[in-house]
Every structure is written in structure tokens, then in C-alpha cells.
Copies of this chain bind each other. A is one copy, B any other.
Amino acid sequence: MVKKERMTRGWLSRKTGCNIETIRYYEKADLMPPPHRSEGGHRLYGPPDVRRLMFIRRCRELGFSLEEIRGLLKLVDGGEYSCGEVRDMTLAHADDIHKKVADLRRMERILKKMAAECDGGDVPDCPILDVLSA
């Protein structure tokens, strides 16, 4: 006998790691489609919803805005996705991230240097403002 598990909002939340309230929010925000409902009005999902929500979550982690994700999903839903458009968005994001990494590494190095100077006993004259505001 197969264990019949109801695929409710809580189930989807557990499957995806997405906050249960956020699922409702994404539905209202037109990222997730309105799901089927039980007799009593409870939301009922399925594996495709897991896939879609994972996609949304992954995109958020990668720094896409909900608006951008809506765009990506439209490509998915429409079936006529232009791979070039998706690639362009992706590369633009990758480029942003690359620049951020460079700055963060610079900042890390400076903070470590400050800490080292601080070890010596005198208050360091912090150069971090200069570096990041340049």
C-alpha cells in the first residue's frame, strides 16, 4: 500500500524549503499559478509546482528580482523561449557578481590588515572609506 500524502501548502513548503507564507505571496504575485483546491478550500499542489517553486527560489538566490523571474517564467510558460534572451540576462548577472566579488575581496583584505594593525596596540587610521568610496 502506497502512503498517500496530501500535497498541501505545507508539503510544498517542506519539499522546496520555501517559507509557507511565501508560497501564498508568490501566488498573489503571479509567479505561482492558482492551485487546485480540496473540497474544503485547501490548496493542492503537484510535482510541477515543486519544480516551478524551486526554479523561483534558485533565481532569487542568484539575485534575480521577482520581475525578472516573471520574465523568465513567461519564456517557460510561453514555450517559445529564446535561449539568447535568457543567456543575456544570465551573463549580465554573472558580470555584476564578478564585480562584487572583486570589491569584497578588497574589503576583506583591508579589514584583515586593520585587525593586524590593531593587534599592535594603537588605533589604526582606517583606510577602508578611501578604498571603497574611490
**Footprint of B on A, CB under 8 Å?**
50-52, 54-55, 58-59, 61-63, 72, 75-76, 78-84, 86-87, 90-91, 93-94, 97-98, 100-101, 103-105, 107-108, 110-112, 114-115, 118-124, 126-130, 132-134
Contacts and interface: CB of A to CB of B under 8 A. Distances in A.
B129 A111 contact: no
A118 B81 CA distance: 11
Given A59-B132, A62-B104, A83-B122, A91 B112 contact: yes
A62 to B, nearest CB: 5
A101 B106 CA distance: 10
A91 B120 CA distance: 12
Contact of A91 (B86, B104, B111, B124): B111
